[in-house]
Amino acid sequence: MPNLLIIGGSDAGISAALRARELDPAADVAVLLADAFPNFSICGLPFYLSGEVPDWRALAHRTEAELAGHSIRLLPRHTATAIHPGRREVEASAPDGTQVRLGYDRLIVATGAVSRRPRAIRGLDQPGVFPLRFMADSFAMADYLERTRPSSALIAGGGYIGLEMADGLTRRGLAVTVAGRSVLGTVDPEFGRLIQAELERNGVRVAGGVTVEEIDAGSEHLSISGSDGFRAEAGMVLVAAGAEPATGLARSASIALGQGGAIRVNRRMETNLPDVYAAGDCVETWHRLLGRPVYLPLGTTAHKQGRIAGENAVGGDKEFAGSLGTQVVKIFDLAAARTGLKDAEARAEGFTPLTVQSEFWDHKAYYPGARTLHVRVTGDRATGRLLGAQILGHWQAEVAKRIDVFATALFHGMRVEDLDQLDLSYTPPLGSPWDPVQLAGQAWCRASEGRRDV
């Protein structure tokens, strides 16, 4: 009966606990978590703050009672302060301030990530300036929005969290400015421009190519200044500058770090220490297409890695198959998705990429409500291998389903021309006999062979 201790009670930690209990009902599984919100979907925070999900409690993937039903012992408000691998023990501070010691046979570190605090920005500690990572961040922001009712917000960072929040705060009636180096840099600038147009159509001011440098408390507003003479005033500031792995605890226990300062793991999610596994946003991630580790923190990956760590910690032998960085985000009426490599990324990795953008109806145009889908396919000229895809379109135009078809094709190392043979579904209200995925593949093949569109 192994004693499995897990540090971290979010996507990775709870996935690990559930899998371990599933495979070994006799295992003693305990989960330490620093806050009081086990198994909450922090991906849902923008929708709680926008008011679309009025009650934060709805963000729980599972309730504490459901987790207890799986015989998982939860220790909320317990912050692990040291790992002693020699004596297989973790020290933690309990809610009453006392130090407790917990022994383990196997340990899983799933401490996640923290919001990046760019050193170059002065004034991050002012009232009215927020990160968004934890439930507590969202409560602080919700409270501020209720109490001070700001009429405007500045968002520093044009990544997916910044843009989800631009949408969310606009819905709450705030005038929003997004200042960042790029607009959704995870997709190509051609799509970034279309997303910027959607933001502006909804009243968001976009200051592209700007780095925020200073936030000052004014008498009524915060004053924000940045590169190229950028100046703005706002009632609140959200700093959405990305995430970095939370590895202080691991580092002080001599757990080796790798890509992006994240915990180094093999594909069995083992660290350099015996019987110590790690998973989720605190670890580096095996990239399936590149065949090497990268730092690519995503909720989808955290769930998978946690499940594998949990399985192996109770005697299993499973390897993480790797991530392709597949992701999708909804911004007002648009959804933007990507999987695999962008053109520039593929080039930097030594491929000879060709990227072809084409536009299609999401379903037969004679059926009401047809919308345009923009699809970018990146393939390797030398081998014809699919390297990546990006899709932008109305959020109800099945963008996510379609990027997932590309992701599945990438997972299996398919060539672009093989997309044609996939047996995909069709009915006029939802698609066409040739799905846009296949039409985009055909457009890529035509371009690679130097033939014209017909």
Binding site residues, ligand FAD, CB under 6 A: 7-13, 32-35, 42-43, 45-46, 79-80, 110-113, 132-133, 161, 246, 249, 280-281, 297-300, 302
- Which tokens in the block code for residue 437? 């995925």
Amino acid at 311: E
CB of 251 to ligand FAD, least distance (A): 12
Name which of 234 and 328 has its Cβ closer to ligand FAD: 328
- The upper half-sphere exposure of residue 347, i.e. CA atoms within 13 Å in the direction of its Cβ, equals 5
CB of 240 to ligand FAD, least distance (A): 8
Name which of 30 and 45 has its Cβ closer to ligand FAD: 45
Cβ contacts of 397 within 8 Å, gap of 6 or more: 335, 362, 363, 371, 373
Name which of 157 and 431 has its Cβ closer to ligand FAD: 157
Amino acid at 38: P
CB of 35 to ligand FAD, least distance (A): 4
CB of 19 to ligand FAD, least distance (A): 14
The CA R_g of the chain, rounded to the nearest whole Å, is: 23
How far apart CA 98 and CA 91 sit, in angstroms, is 10
Name which of 79 and 448 has its Cβ closer to ligand FAD: 79
CB of 208 to ligand FAD, least distance (A): 22
- Cβ-contact 152, 145 below 8 angstroms: no
CB of 372 to ligand FAD, least distance (A): 24
How far apart CA 5 and CA 3 sit, in angstroms, is 6
Dihedral, CA atoms, 84, 90, 93, 96, nearest 10 degrees?
-140
CB of 366 to ligand FAD, least distance (A): 34
User: From the CB of residue 268, how many other CB atoms can be counted at a distance below 10 Å?
Assistant: 16
Angle formed by the axes of helices 11-23 and 299-313, to 10°? 30
Q: How many helices (H) and strands (E) does the chain have?
A: 11, 25
CB of 171 to ligand FAD, least distance (A): 15
CB of 361 to ligand FAD, least distance (A): 27
Name which of 235 and 280 has its Cβ closer to ligand FAD: 280
Name which of 11 and 362 has its Cβ closer to ligand FAD: 11
- Cβ-contact 233, 224 below 8 angstroms: yes
CB of 297 to ligand FAD, least distance (A): 5
CB of 199 to ligand FAD, least distance (A): 18
Name which of 245 and 393 has its Cβ closer to ligand FAD: 245
- Which tokens in the block code for residue 102? 């917990």
How far apart CA 75 and CA 393 sit, in angstroms, is 43
User: From the CB of residue 340, how many other CB atoms can be counted at a distance below 10 Å?
Assistant: 27
Cβ contacts of 14 within 8 Å, gap of 6 or more: 31, 38, 39, 61, 62, 67, 72, 306
Name which of 48 and 444 has its Cβ closer to ligand FAD: 48
- Cβ-contact 253, 259 below 8 angstroms: no
Name which of 116 and 268 has its Cβ closer to ligand FAD: 116
CB of 403 to ligand FAD, least distance (A): 13
Name which of 50 and 79 has its Cβ closer to ligand FAD: 79
Closest CA to 395 of 356, 423, 346, 362: 362
Handedness of CA 31, 35, 40, 46 (dihedral sign): negative
Name which of 110 and 414 has its Cβ closer to ligand FAD: 110
Sheet hosting strand 222-226, strand order edge to edge: 212-217, 222-226, 231-234
Name which of 246 and 387 has its Cβ closer to ligand FAD: 246
Reduced to 3 states, what is the DSSP secondary structure of residue 327?
strand
How far apart CA 259 and CA 42 sit, in angstroms, is 24
Dihedral, CA atoms, 76, 79, 85, 89, nearest 10 degrees?
-60
